[in-house]
Amino acid sequence: MSLIQIKHAVRMLSLGQLRKFDEWLHELIRKAEEAARVEKPPSRKQTVVEQTLENKTYRLESIRCGKEKCKCALGKLHGPYWYSYTRVKNKVTSQYIGKSLPKDVEKELKRRTAN
């Protein structure tokens, strides 16, 4: 049945039937939205630590690579690894750093948290 045919059939319903149809349709939509939330894959990244220095945000993140048979698909994420995030105009760019921060950045962040 096409959408046009459905619309035509709905127009033929009485007020009582329309109310029942409305109730049924809202419940159908609610269940579909609920199912969509359940099916949504978990986030690819999980932030462990976040610190900002000047115009960069440094995040220590555990990540999910996306391979179906990988250990991370079962919940054991990779990392954690450091990434830096910078906003240029309206765009955020990220850069992979690695297992540890550069020494100068690490010293500056430690100095700031000590104060």
Is 51 found in the same domain as 35? no
**Full DSSP string of 58-99:** EEEEEE----TTSGGGGT--EEEEEEEEEEETTEEEEEEEES
Rg of the chain in Å (alpha carbons): 25
Structural domain for 20, as ranges: 3-39
Q: Determine the pLDDT at residue 66.
A: 84
Whether pLDDT at 20 is above 70:
yes
When pLDDT is averaged across residues 11-28 and rounded to a whole number, the result is 94
When pLDDT is averaged across residues 79-90 and rounded to a whole number, the result is 92
Is 52 found in the same domain as 33? no
* Mean pLDDT for all residues in the chain: 88
Is 107 found in the same domain as 74? yes
Is 104 found in the same domain as 67? yes
Q: Determine the pLDDT at residue 38.
A: 67
Is 109 found in the same domain as 54? yes
Q: What is the longest distance spanned by two Cα atoms in the chain?
A: 74
In the chain, the number of structural domains is: 2
Can you read off the two tokens belonging to residue 70? 């990988």
- What CA–CA distance (Å, rounded) separates 2 from 9? 11
Is 25 found in the same domain as 53? no
Is 49 found in the same domain as 96? yes
- What CA–CA distance (Å, rounded) separates 80 from 46? 9
List, in order, residues 6 or more apart from 49 with CB less than 8 Å away.
59, 60
